[in-house]
Amino acid sequence: MVPWYSLSSGLATLYGSKLPGYLFFITAFLFLVPYAAIQIRGVSIFFGATFEGILPDWSWALIIVSIMLIYAEVGGFKAIIYSDAIQGTILLIVIWLIGITCIKAFGSVESLFAKVEEIKPALLSVPGPNGLFTVQFLIASFFAIILIPVTQPQLTSRVVAMRDFRSLSRMAVSLGVFAILIIMSTAFIGMYGAVKYPDASSADYLANALLFDQKEVVGALAMVGLFAACLSTTNAQIFALGTELRSLMKGSDKLVLRNTRIGLFVFAIIALVFSTLM
């Protein structure tokens, strides 16, 4: 039995051709570019708001991408696991501290939703103020979720790295629980922003809700958590793409490593360009 080192190599082995493997890699590459760009853009906005006037947003994006490449090159998979643990813990704690602060600003959850209903009732009903939450959206979201193992190989690499099947099952369930906890708290933050900053841009609303309306310690932890989350996810994406590409190439280790680095550098540059155009 030929071992599978990645999903790409598995597909190549299964179909007896590297074409399906390269097709999978290209699909994942194209899907992850805007995903990485959104994270880079988001963190660069927060740094620009925190250190206003020091550097433009594109400079912060360039710094983030540079750190991302260096960290992925030096740290490897173990560094990704450590950063996952750190950023996950910090982010979960901070996002709930911010969510609770947003609730307390109105006294209770009921008061928060009552105020939202008074100002923008469309937010509390389907399909929402912009008509987004439709049947088509649900169907598209369904396919996007079930295709996560294909479109987001960085998640697959994290789950399958578990030492046994029991740990793998726990990890899979824990990912869902973590996502639910994060989404619940962000709902409160979103409602808070809809009331406090109804006409503000996304950048201004997020900067105020997550940083300036919070206590200094919470705001500082939010910056650390957001940067760690961006670094962790983008590093995992780079590592996963590198694994997929490397498993498809032949030649000396030096040649394969060089070509892999070139491919990942191209990915980082494209993501950087996309982040500055958003």
Q: Specify if 114 maps to a domain.
A: no
Place of tokens 């599978």: 4
- Distance from the Cα of residue 136 to its chain's centroid: 24
**Average pLDDT score over residue span 149-163:** 74
Q: Specify if 229 maps to a domain.
A: yes
Model pLDDT for residues 98-108, shown as the tens digit of each residue: 999 999 999 89
Q: Specify if 142 maps to a domain.
A: no
Q: Specify if 128 maps to a domain.
A: no
Backbone angles phi, psi at 109, to 5 degrees: -65, -40
Number of separate helices (H) and strands (E) present in the chain: 11, 0
Whether the per-residue pLDDT at 1 is higher than 50: the answer is: no
Q: What is the DSSP letter of 2?
A: P
Whether the per-residue pLDDT at 5 is higher than 70: the answer is: no
- Dihedral over Cα of 63, 43, 80, 29: its sign: negative
What integer pLDDT is reported at residue 217 of this predicted model? 87
**Average pLDDT score over residue span 145-149:** 81
**Polymer length of the chain:** 278
Mean pLDDT of the chain: 83
Q: Which two tokens stand for residue 144?
A: 């996007």
Whether the per-residue pLDDT at 119 is higher than 60: the answer is: yes
Q: Specify if 55 maps to a domain.
A: yes
Long-range CB contact pairs, 259-266, < 8 A, 24+: 261/73, 264/69, 264/72, 264/238, 265/69
Total domains present in the chain: 1
Contact 152, 34 (CB under 8 A): no
Model pLDDT for residues 193-242, shown as the tens digit of each residue: 888 888 888 778 888 888 888 888 888 888 888 887 777 778 788 888 88
Q: What is the DSSP letter of 6?
A: S
Q: Specify if 113 maps to a domain.
A: no
Q: Specify if 133 maps to a domain.
A: no
**Average pLDDT score over residue span 156-180:** 79
| % of the chain exceeding 90 in pLDDT | 7
Q: Residue 200 sits in which domain range?
A: 18-105+147-277
Reference 278, options 15, 58, 128, 54; nearest CA is 58
Q: Specify if 117 maps to a domain.
A: no
